[in-house]
Amino acid sequence: MSLWNIMDWVLPLRTPFLNGFFELITLAGYPLFLIMFLCFGYFALGSKRFFHTAMLLMAAGLLNSWLKDFGQDPRPDMLYALDGRVGDSYGWPSGHTQIAVVLWGYLAHTMRQNWAYAAAAIFIVLQGFSRLYLGVHDLGDVLSGFVFGVFCLMAYIGVERHAASRTRLAAASLPQILLVLIVLQGFYIAFYPTHIGHDAPYWFIGLSTGWLLGRYLRGHEEVHLPGPILVQALLAAALTGVSFVLMLAMTRLPRALSDDNALVQYGFGTLFGLAIVALLPFLIAKAHQFFSPQAPQV
């Protein structure tokens, strides 16, 4: 067994306190936290920033899913595992590490503050190490996840900084953007390494469509919650709670209707993205106008 796969060194490090600590850290890499964090951020911390964060995160997540099912690299022996949420997914590359790099790295990049870069670096390291500590990834998985995460992050930032690309994207109409996205999704699905029990993540592919479509339908208008900052935070928390309920419905309904129907899964993912990015901000704006008729439209 190579250095990249050895896991025995983890066992002596474990204590009840560290077990609980790293289980908490690793929860921040699972879809439930990530989607709710993106929703709260979109409502409260800058909708433009979190629109881009979400699009980057979904692209990185879809790449990670493709790579896992292409490589079909087994995880470490179950003897080491403390995290039972991994199911039958593969180990290489670590999705938690890849997502941590793009999420916290991109947010730090948008803030351009030394403390943000330091906090991002600390959390990326903790997230990667949590997967080793919990025995569900080996060193090769985590380092590969880091490399792919850096690649996704740098590619996205590179497009943002490239003047010609930025100009073309700004000038593109919704039909043009949707056409490009659907073509890319078609290639992704066509070449997805599908095998028994491992299909393309159609719901998340649809989510990326809904998130993009909702942003364009709103005319790239920023979300502005009414009231002082405390009221805004409470309102954003309430909207995130509504988002959680919607997510439960939009993920369980496809299973009830047709568990293996790709179009059904894709459609409900799209609907969820539209609800978060377009519908909820629209309803909040209308409610604010109703209760404050003189207030400017948001």
pLDDT tens, position by position, 183-209: 999 999 999 999 998 999 999 999 999
- Residues 17-38 pLDDT 10s: 999 999 999 999 999 999 999 9
Say whether pLDDT at 298 is over 50: no
Distances (CA, A) of 71 to 75, 91, 276: 12, 9, 34
Cα–Cα dist 149/125, whole Å: 13
Six token digits for residue 225: 């919650």
Angle at 102 between CA 98 and CA 107, to 5 degrees: 150
Distance between CA atoms of 207 and 187, rounded to whole angstroms? Answer: 17
| pLDDT reading at 164 higher than 60 | yes
**Domain assignment present for 155:** no
CA distance 27 to 237: 19
Q: Is residue 1 in a domain?
A: no
Closest listed residue to residue 153, CA positions, set 56, 80, 256, 250: 56
Q: Torsion-angle region of residue 220: left (phi > 0), alpha (psi -120 to 50) or beta?
A: left
Q: Report pLDDT for 17.
A: 96
Residue 5 CA: distances (Å) to CA of 8, 77, 98, 134, 295: 9, 10, 19, 14, 61
Residue 215 CA to residue 288 CA, distance in Å, equals 20
**For the chain, how many structural domains are there in total?**
1
204 within domain boundaries: yes
Which of 26-35, 174-183, 287-296 is predicted with the least confidence, judged by mean pLDDT?
287-296
Instruction: Determine the pLDDT at residue 1.
Output: 53
Instruction: State mean pLDDT over 147-163.
Output: 94
> 127 is written with which tokens?
């997230």
Within-domain flag for 228: yes
Distance of CA 201 to the CA centre of its chain: 13
Residue 214 has pLDDT above 90, yes or no: yes
Q: What are phi and psi of 69, to 5 degrees?
A: -75, -20
CA dist 72 → 65, 69, 139, 194 (Å): 10, 5, 16, 11
Neighbours of 25 (CB within 10 A): 20
Q: Specify if 214 maps to a domain.
A: yes
Mean pLDDT within 250-277: 90
Instruction: Give the pTM.
Output: 0.92
Residue spans of alpha helices (H) in the chain? 16-27, 31-44, 47-71, 95-111, 114-133, 139-161, 163-171, 174-190, 202-217, 229-258, 262-274, 280-291
Tell me the residue range of the domain where 222 lies.
172-298
Q: Measured in whole angstroms, how far is the alpha carbon of residue 224 from the centre of its chain?
A: 23
Cβ contacts of residue 66 below 8 Å, gap of 6+?
188, 192, 193
| Position 117 in a domain | no
Q: Is residue 75 part of a domain?
A: no
The percentage of residues in the chain with a pLDDT greater than 70, rounded to a whole number, is: 96
User: For residue 196, how far is the Cα from the chain centroid?
Assistant: 25
Asked, for residue 283, whether it belongs to a domain, the answer is: yes
Distances (CA, A) of 35 to 72, 118, 120, 136: 26, 24, 18, 22
The per-residue pLDDT for 287 is 81
> Of residues 52 and 291, which shows the higher confidence score?
52
